[in-house]
Amino acid sequence: MTHMTAITLGGFDHTNALGDLVVGETVYSYNFSSNSHEDVTIGEVTSSEVTSFLRIVFDNDNHINCVPSQQFWIDSAWKNASDLEVGDVCTTDFAGTSSVAAIENCNFITTMFSISSISSNDNVFAEGILVKI
């Protein structure tokens, strides 16, 4: 995901840009074992340049720029961005849903960021959407 992707922070009342997150900061996550939201601690954020990516636009006008292998929680399963379809329903941080409204292929160089480790779980809320790290 790109630098400015808003990640929901621990405490659930603020966001921070993915590229500005620091080791030790807490973010909001979902624990599938307990079926509850919880705060988790960031271990590392990495970055790399890519020459093409997908822009996933949601029905609430938010969007996420991501690599095709980025996973989204769709219908009780993880689904790669490259396999998303318009109309797929994603889980949001308010225990609601948001639908995929458009998928765009982008072909230019940009830097993608990723949270490569967190204290537990393997997911965060990016632009309010549940995604796998």
Q: What is the pLDDT of residue 97?
A: 93
Q: What pLDDT does residue 12 have? A: 75
> What pLDDT shows up at residue 105?
97
For the chain, which domains are there?
Answer: 6-132 (2.170.16.10)
The 10s digit of each residue's pLDDT in 65-109 is 999 999 999 989 999 999 999 999 999 987 789 999 999 999 999
| Cα-based distances in Å from 33 to 36, 58, 94 | 8, 27, 18
* pLDDT score for 46: 95
pLDDT band at 62 (very low <50, low <70, confident <90, very high): very high
Q: What is the mean pLDDT of the chain?
A: 94
C-alpha distances out from residue 32 to 67, 77, 90, 108, 122, Å: 24, 11, 15, 36, 10
Question: What does the pLDDT look like over 11-39, one tens digit per residue?
Answer: 878 999 999 999 999 999 999 999 999 99
Q: How many CB atoms lie within 10 A of CB 65?
A: 21
pLDDT band at 110 (very low <50, low <70, confident <90, very high): very high
Could you tell me the pTM of the whole model? 0.94
Span 41-64, mean pLDDT?
A: 95
Is 72 within 8 Å of 79 (Cβ atoms)?
yes
Can you tell me the distance from the alpha carbon of 121 to that of 65, in angstroms, rounded to the nearest whole number?
22
Q: What is the pLDDT of residue 102?
A: 98
Cα separation, 130 vs 71, whole angstroms: 9
Distance CA 35, CA 1 (A): 26
Distance CA 92, CA 10 (A): 15
Amino acid identity, position 72: F
